[in-house]
């Protein structure tokens, strides 16, 4: 498709958009009486209007049934999480028994590492990406020191080549092969939070397994954003948050994946009663008998008030399907990229898109390095009703989420960006 940097063209794309009615399902902050242009769904998704109904349902059941809501609510609380199995499995490409919801993201990664990071005297090293999300870096360091190991000798970060913004797949695979039988775990982000680069999880998993390592992924920026086939890729485990692209609310519950080949294994885990055999859970038996599936990694009674917004969102994903979301994601991200290049030519600016240009290597995010523009341009955008995201030293991240972003948003953003650059010159 040949794009045009005009309001009429953007409105034409919106009229043809198969998902255009879902924009009305979300509540936008207001700026001068209009919806903001919202680019930070990669940090916190907008609130779906249907969320309130799901939360009110739990509140009403709590008021009217109190403790009996565990068994007699319209959606009984004791098995509330089971309603996620089918829709979540479609989002991440898994079997329903391979997914569950519990805790929050870094907690789940810690719990999963109890099972999947089992260092020995010879096999103890971890491979991850350079500039992983800080919480992952802290997790790696604390896990390694917990085992009495030195993070400097144990954690291997795959770095970008000099002068490049993204990590090359061949460098990842070469390092996995090089570390070989000293490698215990490969744990990457599915999408790098800073650059928006999508990693080839299938190839990374194959390479890790070839040398005898476990392979997992932090899918915080991937779940609900890119096509995932965790089961078919033979990924050992994964976890993700729900408040970015799945719009479940600030700091909300995490999802996790454990491949079915591990469901009947003797892998150690930190146990709790909600992972115990469902049919015998309330018999209060002294010996742990885990549920066979990802639910067997649950620990505590689940926070139903947190799960209610998450359920509202995954139901929406189930209505649409990931294929339609990805089709729009690719087109609207490409249109935003086009707009950025057009504005760059018009104002002779020096900003640089550091996200890969190949659609298969990026998702719903363009990271823009503002050479010479600085924080003042970001501040101008925010004051003009463009909610975006600043990352040091000089990057703004733009996420045109296909569920609620419009092509007209992309055009209007371009005009605001142009005015901001001219104002700062």
CA–CA separation, 373 and 268 (whole Å): 51
Nearest C-alpha neighbor of 60 from the set 78, 72, 48:
72
Beta bridge partners of 188: 217
Q: How many C-beta atoms surround the C-beta of residue 192 within 10 A?
A: 26
Smallest Cα–Cα separation from 292: which of 325, 269, 312, 310? 269
Place of tokens 């970001």: 378
3-state secondary structure of 367: strand
Find, among 173, 115, 119, the residue nearest to 146 by Cα: 119
The radius of gyration of the chain from alpha carbons, rounded to an integer in Å, stands at: 22
Domains of the chain and CATH, by start = 7-35+321-424 (3.90.1150.10), 53-320 (3.40.640.10)
pLDDT in tens, the chain (425 residues): 899 999 999 999 999 999 999 999 999 999 999 999 999 999 999 999 999 999 999 999 999 999 999 999 999 999 999 999 999 999 999 999 999 999 999 999 999 999 999 999 999 999 999 988 889 999 999 999 999 999 999 999 999 999 999 999 999 999 999 999 999 999 999 999 999 999 999 999 999 999 999 999 999 999 999 999 999 999 999 999 999 999 999 999 999 999 999 999 889 999 998 999 888 888 888 999 899 999 999 999 999 999 999 999 999 999 999 999 999 999 999 999 999 999 999 988 778 999 999 989 999 999 999 876 678 889 999 999 999 999 888 899 999 999 999 999 999 999 999 999 888 76
| Cα separation, 158 vs 131, whole angstroms | 9
pLDDT of 349: 74
C-alpha distances (whole Å) from 16 to each of 245, 316, 402, 411 are: 23, 20, 14, 16
pLDDT number for residue 425: 64
Four-CA torsion 32, 35, 37, 41, nearest 10 degrees:
130
Cβ count within 10 A of residue 378: 20
- Check if the beta carbon of residue 199 is closer than 8 Å to that of residue 222: no
| Distance, CA of 167 to CA of 179 (rounded, Å) | 18
Q: What predicted TM-score, i.e. pTM, was given to this entire model?
A: 0.95
**Residue 300 three-state SS:** coil
pLDDT, position 1:
84
pLDDT at 393: 84
């Amino acid at each position: 498709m040949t794009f045009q940097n005009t309001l009429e063209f953007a409105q034409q794309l919106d009229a043809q958009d198969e998902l255009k009615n879902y924009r009305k399902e979300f509540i936008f902050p207001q700026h001068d009486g209009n919806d903001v242009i919202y680019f930070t769904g990669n940090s916190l998704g907008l609130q779906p209007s249907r969320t309130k109904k799901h939360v009110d349902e739990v509140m009403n059941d709590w008021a009217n049934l109190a403790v009996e809501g565990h068994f007699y609510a319209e959606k009984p609380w004791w098995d509330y999480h089971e309603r996620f199995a089918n829709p979540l499995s479609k989002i991440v490409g898994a079997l329903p028994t391979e997914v569950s919801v519990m805790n929050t993201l870094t907690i789940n990664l810690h719990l999963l590492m109890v099972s999947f990071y089992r260092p020995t005297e010879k096999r103890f090293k971890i491979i991850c990406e350079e500039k992983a999300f800080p919480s992952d870096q802290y997790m790696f360091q604390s896990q390694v020191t917990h085992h009495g190991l030195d993070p400097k000798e144990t954690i291997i970060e795959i770095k970008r080549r000099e002068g490049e913004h993204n990590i090359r797949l061949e460098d990842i695979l070469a390092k996995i092969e090089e570390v070989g039988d000293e490698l215990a775990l490969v744990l990457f982000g599915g999408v790098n939070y800073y650059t928006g680069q999508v990693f080839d999880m299938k190839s990374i998993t194959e390479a890790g397994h070839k040398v005898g390592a476990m392979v997992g992924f932090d899918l915080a920026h991937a779940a609900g954003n890119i096509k995932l086939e965790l089961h078919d890729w033979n990924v050992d485990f994964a976890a993700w948050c729900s408040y970015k692209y799945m719009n479940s609310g600030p700091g909300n519950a995490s999802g996790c994946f454990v491949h079915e080949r591990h469901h009947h294994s003797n892998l150690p885990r930190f146990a709790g009663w909600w992972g115990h055999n469902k049919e015998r859970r309330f018999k209060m038996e002294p010996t742990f008998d885990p549920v066979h599936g990802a639910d067997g990694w649950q620990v505590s009674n689940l926070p139903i008030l947190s799960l209610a917004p998450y359920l509202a969102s995954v139901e929406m994903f189930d209505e649409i399907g990931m294929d339609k979301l990805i089709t729009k994601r690719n087109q609207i991200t490409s249109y935003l990229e086009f707009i950025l290049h057009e504005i760059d030519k018009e104002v002779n600016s020096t900003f640089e898109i550091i996200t890969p240009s190949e659609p298969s290597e990026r998702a719903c995010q363009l990271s823009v390095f503002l050479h010479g523009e600085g924080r003042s341009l970001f501040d101008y955008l925010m004051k003009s009703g463009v909610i975006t995201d600043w990352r040091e030293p000089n990057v703004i991240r733009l996420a045109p989420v296909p569920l609620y972003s419009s092509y007209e948003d992309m055009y209007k953003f371009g005009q605001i960006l142009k005015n901001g650059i001219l104002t700062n010159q």
